[in-house]
């Protein structure tokens, strides 16, 4: 048996490369990363897949090792070419973020030390760091010190955590589901629908509150609907307000919604996934009035703090409510209970073992300080306004509401042909060109093109490029 163990040891020790091999791998990875970043200016924001795009399948898992050189080539050719390039300054579709380099270094360190960030007892420093980041976000939102939260993989999971907390706080059991009422705006993000479904609340009554002209939730319509529901013996329980809707960046009127929520005893959730970090700009603070009255707030550092994908956040004002929804005891976890001075991520989320996400957020925030983040956010706001006004000076462009944050909706319409059809052709020719990437949406059945100026790398140069491309493509389409 000893012989067999020793033989196995020899092979299993291959999993621990020596410092020479590590250094060789590091060099190769860093060279590739450097090349990627240094050539971003020549890379497209969007590339339609070529016919050999599925070559990553050639690198399927097998018993034999493959060289890093071959694997990096596979990443280069099979992954980092086709589709949207989320690191590109020209990516203005959906809601991008870019991906800050020091976040990659944070991920690297978190993976090497493999700190167990789910439980305070196991990694007090890691949990303190994540709680410190949550406390910073809580202060930013005007939340009390006692509030808790969690760094999630993204906004969707953050919304799910909030909705389950709301369900538990309002003690909605199976028999209550059909009489409970949820209020959403017509512009709510679809991750809220998904969360309602996963939370087992599909059979609740869901009311879609109409919008005003600025595409914000109409509070008078909300209150009217609640009163009707109460009259019918239903139980209004949850209302969602969005800070920065995905389509247009509109901010729902928080103060009036908070008043209504308070009057009727609703859980107020604020989905600030896109817009939340704009609160870093003092001149925007009035738009956030009353956000601190929400029972829960979600934020997405992988959008407006420019992190690589994989970081969202949820804040829950009432600690007991959060713990009621998520804290769980298990026999094999008995060592972890006594030392619990700090709330552990596993106490307020569905996860137990988790990636130490805090490091990828903390490292860039500390290395750069907050100032360049604020500058970048302010720059995006101004770029959106500039783009909006430039389009205004052009003939035949219909524009959405003046951008409240950094999203602009527009469509070309000169009355000579079906506008929806023309704008579909316009966006597909912009996407085919690929130097910039925009996405589209539809509001009340009307087709709109939208530019979401969010990536920290997007500057005036890219907005000029975008305007030139729009002009060029309109001319091309009009002349054929
Ligand atoms: C992006 C977004 C979400 C979903 O967040 P993910 O990080 O993509 O899961 C939810 N709500 C709003 C308003 C968003 O913009």
Question: Distance of CA 229 to CAs 237, 276, 318, Å?
Answer: 11, 31, 27
3-state secondary structure 280-306: HCHHHHHHHCCHHHCCEEEECHHHHCC
Q: Give the angle 357-244-152 at the CA atoms, nearest 5°.
A: 15
Q: What is the mean pLDDT of residues 272-294?
A: 97
CB within 8 Å of 466: residues ≥ 6 apart: 90, 92, 387, 436, 438, 451
Mutational test site, ligand 1, from 154, 190, 195, 250, max ligand atoms within 8 Å of CB: 154
Give me the residue label for tokens 């479904």.
197
Task: Report which ligand 1 atom has the smallest distance to the Cα of 156.
Answer: 9
Residue 197 reports pLDDT greater than 70? yes
How much distance in Å is there from the Cα of 270 to the middle of ligand 1?
12
What is the residue with the minimal CA distance to atom 5 of ligand 1?
155
Residue 33 reports pLDDT greater than 90? yes
The pLDDT value recorded for residue 417 is 86
How much distance in Å is there from the Cα of 306 to the middle of ligand 1?
14
Task: Report which ligand 1 atom has the smallest distance to the Cα of 302.
Answer: 7
The pLDDT value recorded for residue 51 is 67
How much distance in Å is there from the Cα of 312 to the middle of ligand 1?
9
Instruction: Give the percent of the chain with pLDDT over 90.
Output: 93
The pLDDT value recorded for residue 331 is 76
pTM: 0.97
Q: Write the pLDDT tens digit of every residue in 172-191.
A: 999 999 999 999 999 999 99
Phi then psi for residue 205, to 5 deg, are -80, 125
Residue 339 reports pLDDT greater than 60? no
Task: Report which ligand 1 atom has the smallest distance to the Cα of 155.
Answer: 5
How much distance in Å is there from the Cα of 454 to the middle of ligand 1?
14
* Cα separation, 439 vs 432, whole angstroms: 12
Which residues' Cβ are closer than 6 Å to ligand 1? 95, 154-156, 159, 189, 191, 242, 246, 271, 273-274, 300, 312
Q: What is the mean pLDDT of residues 44-66?
A: 88
**Number of Cβ within a 10 Å radius of residue 36:** 15
The pLDDT value recorded for residue 54 is 80
What is the residue with the minimal CA distance to atom 14 of ligand 1?
273
* Cα separation, 148 vs 392, whole angstroms: 44
The pLDDT value recorded for residue 477 is 96
The pLDDT value recorded for residue 332 is 72
Mutational test site, ligand 1, from 246, 249, 454, max ligand atoms within 8 Å of CB: 246
Mutational test site, ligand 1, from 271, 278, 298, 313, max ligand atoms within 8 Å of CB: 271
Going by DSSP bridges, is the β-strand pair 439-443/267-271 parallel, antiparallel, or unpaired? Answer: unpaired
In the sheet with 446-452, reading across from the earlier edge strand, the strands are 397-399, 407-412, 446-452, 439-443
Q: What is the mean pLDDT of residues 37-41?
A: 97
How much distance in Å is there from the Cα of 440 to the middle of ligand 1?
16
Angle, to 10 degrees, between the axis of helix 101-113 and the axis of helix 358-368? 140
Higher pLDDT, 330 or 4: 4
Q: Write the pLDDT tens digit of every residue in 368-406.
A: 999 999 999 999 999 999 999 999 999 999 999 999 999
How much distance in Å is there from the Cα of 269 to the middle of ligand 1?
14
Alpha helices in 67-169 (DSSP H): 68-78, 101-113, 124-141, 155-169
């Amino acid at each position: 048996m000893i012989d067999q163990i020793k033989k196995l040891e020899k092979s299993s020790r291959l999993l621990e490369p020596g410092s020479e091999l590590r250094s060789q791998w590091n060099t190769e990875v860093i060279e590739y990363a450097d090349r990627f970043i240094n050539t971003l200016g020549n890379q497209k924001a969007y590339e339609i897949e070529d016919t050999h795009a599925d070559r990553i399948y050639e690198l399927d898992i097998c018993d034999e090792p493959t060289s890093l050189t071959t694997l990096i080539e596979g990443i280069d050719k099979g992954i980092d070419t086709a589709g949207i390039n989320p690191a590109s300054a020209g990516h203005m579709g959906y809601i991008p973020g870019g991906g800050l380099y020091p976040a990659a270094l944070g991920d690297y360190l978190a993976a090497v030390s493999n700190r167990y960030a789910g439980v305070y007892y196991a990694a007090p420093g890691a949990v303190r760091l994540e709680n410190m980041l949550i406390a910073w976000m809580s202060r930013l939102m005007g939340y009390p010190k006692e509030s808790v939260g969690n760094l999630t993989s993204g906004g969707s999971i953050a919304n799910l955590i909030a909705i389950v907390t709301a369900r538990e706080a309002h003690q909605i059991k199976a028999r209550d589901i059909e009489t409970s009422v949820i209020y959403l705006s017509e512009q709510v993000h679809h991750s809220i629908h998904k969360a309602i479904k996963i939370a087992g609340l599909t059979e609740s009554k869901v009311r879609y509150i109409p919008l005003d002209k600025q595409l914000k939730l109409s509070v008078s319509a909300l209150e009217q609907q609640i009163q009707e529901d109460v009259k019918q013996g239903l139980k209004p329980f949850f209302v969602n307000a969005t800070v920065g809707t995905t389509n247009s960046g509109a901010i729902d009127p928080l103060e009036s919604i908070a008043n209504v929520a308070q009057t009727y005893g609703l859980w107020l959730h604020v989905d600030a996934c896109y817009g939340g970090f704009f609160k870093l700009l003092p001149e925007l603070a009035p738009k956030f009035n009353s956000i601190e009255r929400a029972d829960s707030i979600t934020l997405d550092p992988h959008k407006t703090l420019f992190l690589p994908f994989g970081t969202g956040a949820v804040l829950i004002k009432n600690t007991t409510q959060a713990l009621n929804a998520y804290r769980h005891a298990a026999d094999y976890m008995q060592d972890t209970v006594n030392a619990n001075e700090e709330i552990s991520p596993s106490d307020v989320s569905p996860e137990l073992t988790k990636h130490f996400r805090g490091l990828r957020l903390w490292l860039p925030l500390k290395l750069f300080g907050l100032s360049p983040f604020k500058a970048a956010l302010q720059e995006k706001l101004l770029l959106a306004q500039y783009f909006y006004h430039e389009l205004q000076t052009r003939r035949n462009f219909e524009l959405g509401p003046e951008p409240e944050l950094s999203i602009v909706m527009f469509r070309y319409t000169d009355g000579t042909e079906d506008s929806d059809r023309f704008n579909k052709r316009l966006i597909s020719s912009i996407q085919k060109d690929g130097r910039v990437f925009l996405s589209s949406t539809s509001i009340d059945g009307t087709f709109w093109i939208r530019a979401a100026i969010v990536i920290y790398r997007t500057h005036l140069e890219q907005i000029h490029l975008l305007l030139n491309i729009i002009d060029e493509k309109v001319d091309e389409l009009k002349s054929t």
